[in-house]
Structure 1
Amino acid sequence: MMNLGPNFAQSRFNLHSQMINNNLRKLKIYPQQRAALVALRKWFNAPDKDKTALVVLPTGAGKSGVAALAPFVLNATRVLVITPSEIITKQLIADFNGSLSPEKQSFYEAREMLSLDEISFFIEPGLAQLKSLTNTALVPLFRSRNLIIANAHKFGSHSNVNIEQIPNDLFDTVIVDEAHHYPAETWKRIIDHFQAASRRIFLTATPYRKSGPIFDDVATINEQRQKYVAYEVSRQECVLGGLIRGLEFLERGLLNEANEETRVIEIAQAIQQKLAEHDQIDSTIRHQAMVLTHTITEATMVKDIYNNLFPPINGQKKPAVTYVGQDNGSNLIEFKKGNRCVMVVCGKALEGFDCNRVSVCAILRNVQPASKVLFPQFVGRCVRKASDNDPVTATVISHAFHRQRANFDNLDKLADAGVDPEDD
């Protein structure tokens, strides 16, 4: 057991660490998850490694499971998980705490690691910090829990928190989800503040931002790989291993089609056709689509056109909704429940969104080739398998006018340079 200072008392991560490590080979988790956890344990036990480790896993390959098990594998005591959005914060608190959350089982229950009777004695009760608080309220609250999951912007320059007043040794382990955000000012300020943490784990599917690597003390992706990457697996390896769906690209329309409504309708027809095909291939679920636009105005326009084209759900409900990160989440809830078949988004409103019924991603905008994060992050929404034997190949649909084939062809290529204009 580590020598605990005044900020630390034994956690359930400590209590069950040996049991998890002893049974790691037997757990019903993806091989890549197991390999990543073993790599992290080896990394932080090595005296010559940096105390920051980067794990690169494609969307759908189990980053959340790695986050949920890493504190046990590493014998952590007090854990801070930083996320980019309330959506991901809620998803992660469900992965960690499950039955304490109304949304879904915990990761541990879903992977049949423990019985329902055992789970309440195993999980470390976490706090999902969704409200902005002052330091006076926040520090005692943080001290009261061994697991805090928080949206980065709750510590941002527009919040009521002065991060300098939070003890920088309050956590021994910091997990950074969607870590490609790290160079952004708010993220860097938070994570660098907790430098005293003995372990910092960065998780992402896209280990680059703006002109190259995430970390500013290396010049290229290859240098970043050598210094920081504890574990990395490619999208193609995960497809071949049966962990995520394969991808196909479908282009519709004419390159010079100037009429926006015509483009929207042509893509809508292609979505309808593909969803019907996917439902035929796997009739156990109703498949869904997500559509990427550029602005809120465009998203609303696309939604209205789709609601006139698509048949109602269950004879009543309109089939399409928007989610632009500014509503109360009711549209998102309806979509996740399967009560809508199309979700129209703009920008990165649903980065990290987890819904395995989504099998089609359609793009109704020109995502620039230099946007090395936006394209793969959005396309990743449709590759998560609905079951271990999911037979569906996910489909990316775009109009020829938006010239997205090159982005798809380059999906698995990591560039060492270039500016990502969409990542701010």
Structure 2
Amino acid sequence: MKLRPYQEEAKNSIFEQWNLGIQKTLLVLPTGCGKTIVFAKVTEDCVRNGSRVLILAHRGELLDQAADKIQKSTGLGCSTEKAEETCLGSWYRITVGSVQSMMREKRLQRFEKDYFDTIIIDEAHHCVSDSYQRVLSHFSDAKVLGVTATPDRGDMRNLGQYFESLAYEYTLPKAIKEGYLSPIQAVTLPLKLDLSEVSMQSGDFKASDIGTALDPYLYQIAEEMKKYCSNRKSVVFLPLVKTSQKFRDILNECGFRAAEVNGDSKDRAEILQDFADNKYNVLCNSMLLTEGWDQPDVDCIVVLRPTKIRSLYCQMVGRGTRLSEGKKELLLLDFLWHTEKHELCHPAHLICEDEEVAQKMTQNLEESAGYPMDIEEAEQMASEDVVTAREEALAKKLKEMRKRKKKLVDPLQFEMSIQAADLSGYVPAFGWEMGPPSEKQRKALEKSGIMPDEIENAGKAAKLLDRLNKRRAENLTTPKQIRFLERNGFQHVGTWPFDSAKNLIDRIAGNGWKVPRDITPSTYKPEPVQQSFEWGA
């Protein structure tokens, strides 16, 4: 099975991290982008190098899925470590193991500590729990790969306490743009559901309270669904089994062909098959189908289980992002949940890395409630709104800075000038990134013309220094050139070639440090130059 280009990059990046001596690394791929295929191919290469590999997961479906994908994509068989089954004595070099079974002390003691050379954790956002850590601590010398869909910042901070690096990340927008996932249209429905009295449990909304709060609105929600998805294949996520069953009955009253599945459904396989065969057009569930279930032709997702956990929200929406013949896009129904206490996940959190952009996109979608909008277009619009607001704030700050006559460039001015959204929206994830900048970093930044006092953490300092080195190699403007020219009214000097900026500064210097009359700074575009200069102050 030939890997897609991004899957090949991901696989190579994982081995690069291990070869650098980084023992525990992460792979982040959106749902539907073939994470199982990637780690199957990683497993194949490990086995070829003589390693014994453990695939660790918390659900039987994930273990079966991994074993099946490894068999189909590599031809390699797997032994199983679960319940009464054991891999000990097997010829197979690959084991799929249940964390619930392997965490038991009596079971772990049957294994030498160096029995597995490599451990791959599927749905790695679970791995910070005690059960996983018990297994990982026993095989402490093994190389570890964690695989997960897009995590939220809280997850990344938690994962950053265990994993040492992020080997590779493929984003949802990139997957959609490159044609590997379905475009998403989000519509915010003008139905205000009151969650202000819902309490919290384990960092998220308490399911039983949501069920109670949701109950009075179920008929209205069904009526809204009739407007948008009566001709679609829909999956509805609800907080409780009883709420899921009640909503199934309401949908059937409203003309849908709805079914419901839960963990106790004895006919679950039959219902899922009937849904696949289009005997039903809506499938209700109480959070059962967030992992390990794929039905590519699902083209509508209704999230009636509000959450503040981005990874959970992404998993729910991910049930509808796969490509399927005849499927044009995924429709995502969002609601105007009202809560005074906590931030909720919305469609914006699928695509926005910057929280400020996410808030603006959510606001824009709410203002255009009832009208489907492509989430990439909505994100672009929100980004432009935020950039405009930031530029206004920057202009005000620069005015104050000019009065103070600082010699160094404020990092925000540099980021805005070079249009580096990844720098302005950067949030540290791994432990070393969260500490203050080192003295070496501060000196290097100051030498390059950047004011180090405005940089809060080592991760941001490292990213800025990397960007400065890259700009030096590409012969782009220096921070000091940016400061001087933008102080004189020139726009986005950060995107100019170094040589063009130097020629203009020389011309201004020759004019008594005044901008020549034939130049209008606000509309000036740099002219290409032939001569090359050394990148400097």
Q: Give the TM-score, by structure 1 length.
A: 0.69
User: SS of the residue aligned with 2:191?
Assistant: coil
User: In terms of Rg, which structure is larger?
Assistant: 2
Could you tell me which of 17, 22, 26 is aligned with 1:50?
Answer: 22
- The residue number in structure 2 matching 1:234 is 171
- The residue number in structure 2 matching 1:13 is none
- The 5-angstrom pairing of residues 308-387 of structure 1 reads 308-310=253-255, 319-328=257-266, 329-330=268-269, 331-347=271-287, 349-368=289-308, 371-386=309-324
Instruction: Quote the Cα distance in structure 2 between the aligned partners of 1:234 and 1:71.
Output: 23
Could you tell me which of 325, 338, 351 is aligned with 1:412?
Answer: 351
Instruction: Quote the Cα distance in structure 1 between the aligned partners of 2:60 and 2:92.
Output: 19
Work out whether 1:124 is the aligned partner of 2:76: yes
> How much has 1:182 moved relative to structure 2?
0.8
- The 5-angstrom pairing of residues 137-176 of structure 1 reads 138=86, 140=88, 143-156=90-103, 162-176=107-121
Letter in 2 for 1:51: Q
- The residue number in structure 1 matching 2:336 is 400
- The residue number in structure 2 matching 1:115 is none
- The residue number in structure 1 matching 2:53 is 79
Instruction: Quote the Cα distance in structure 2 between the aligned partners of 1:185 and 1:365.
Output: 27
Letter in 1 for 2:83: S
Instruction: Quote the Cα distance in structure 1 between the aligned partners of 2:279 and 2:106.
Output: 38
User: SS of the residue aligned with 2:66?
Assistant: helix
> How much has 1:216 moved relative to structure 2?
5.4
What do residues 114-165 of structure 1 show as CA deviations (whole Å, max 9, x unaligned)?
A: xxxxxxxx61112355x523xxx63536x443222233223356xx953233
> How much has 1:411 moved relative to structure 2?
2.2
What do residues 218-258 of structure 1 show as CA deviations (whole Å, max 9, x unaligned)?
A: 7xxxxx7xx41111121111111111112111223422688
Work out whether 1:302 is the aligned partner of 2:276: no
Uncovered stretches (5+) of structure 2, i.e. residues with no partner? 195-213, 356-426, 430-537
Letter in 2 for 1:398: D
Letter in 1 for 2:293: F
> How much has 1:386 moved relative to structure 2?
1.9
Uncovered stretches (5+) of structure 1, i.e. residues with no partner? 1-26, 98-105, 109-121, 219-223, 276-287, 312-318, 419-424
Q: 1:211 to 1:204 in 2, by over 3 A?
A: closer
Q: 1:164 to 1:341 in 2, by over 3 A?
A: farther
Could you tell me which of 155, 159, 162 is aligned with 1:215?
Answer: 159
User: SS of the residue aligned with 1:373?
Assistant: helix
Letter in 2 for 1:379: V
Q: 1:310 to 1:173 in 2, by over 3 A?
A: farther
Instruction: Quote the Cα distance in structure 2 between the aligned partners of 1:342 and 1:40.
Output: 39
Letter in 2 for 1:177: D
> How much has 1:294 moved relative to structure 2?
0.7
Q: 1:216 to 1:410 in 2, by over 3 A?
A: closer
Q: 1:95 to 1:269 in 2, by over 3 A?
A: same
Q: 1:213 to 1:357 in 2, by over 3 A?
A: same
What do residues 72-105 of structure 1 show as CA deviations (whole Å, max 9, x unaligned)?
A: 23435322111232222222222122xxxxxxxx
Q: Are 1:207 and 1:214, in contact at CA under 8 Å, matched by a contact in 2?
A: no
- The residue number in structure 1 matching 2:137 is 192
- The residue number in structure 2 matching 1:260 is 217
Q: Are 2:290 and 2:315, in contact at CA under 8 Å, matched by a contact in 1?
A: no
- Aligned pair count reads 330
Q: Are 1:79 and 1:148, in contact at CA under 8 Å, matched by a contact in 2?
A: yes
> How much has 1:266 moved relative to structure 2?
2.4
Instruction: Quote the Cα distance in structure 2 between the aligned partners of 1:184 and 1:271.
Output: 40
Amino-acid identity (%) = 21
> How much has 1:410 moved relative to structure 2?
2.5
Work out whether 1:202 is the aligned partner of 2:174: no
Q: Specify which structure has the bigger relative contact order, considering alpha-carbon pairs within 8 angstroms and separated by 6 or more residues.
A: 1
> How much has 1:292 moved relative to structure 2?
0.7
- The residue number in structure 1 matching 2:7 is 33
Work out whether 1:61 is the aligned partner of 2:14: no
Q: 1:339 to 1:150 in 2, by over 3 A?
A: farther
Instruction: Quote the Cα distance in structure 2 between the aligned partners of 1:306 and 1:262.
Output: 8
Q: 1:250 to 1:274 in 2, by over 3 A?
A: farther
Q: 1:253 to 1:342 in 2, by over 3 A?
A: same
User: SS of the residue aligned with 1:50?
Assistant: coil
Q: 1:267 to 1:323 in 2, by over 3 A?
A: farther
Deviation larger for 228-237 or 76-85: 76-85
- The residue number in structure 2 matching 1:280 is none
Deviation larger for 239-248 or 357-366: 357-366
Q: 1:41 to 1:256 in 2, by over 3 A?
A: closer
> How much has 1:298 moved relative to structure 2?
0.7
Q: Are 2:238 and 2:303, in contact at CA under 8 Å, matched by a contact in 1?
A: yes
Letter in 1 for 2:75: I
Q: Are 1:179 and 1:204, in contact at CA under 8 Å, matched by a contact in 2?
A: yes
Q: Are 2:303 and 2:316, in contact at CA under 8 Å, matched by a contact in 1?
A: no
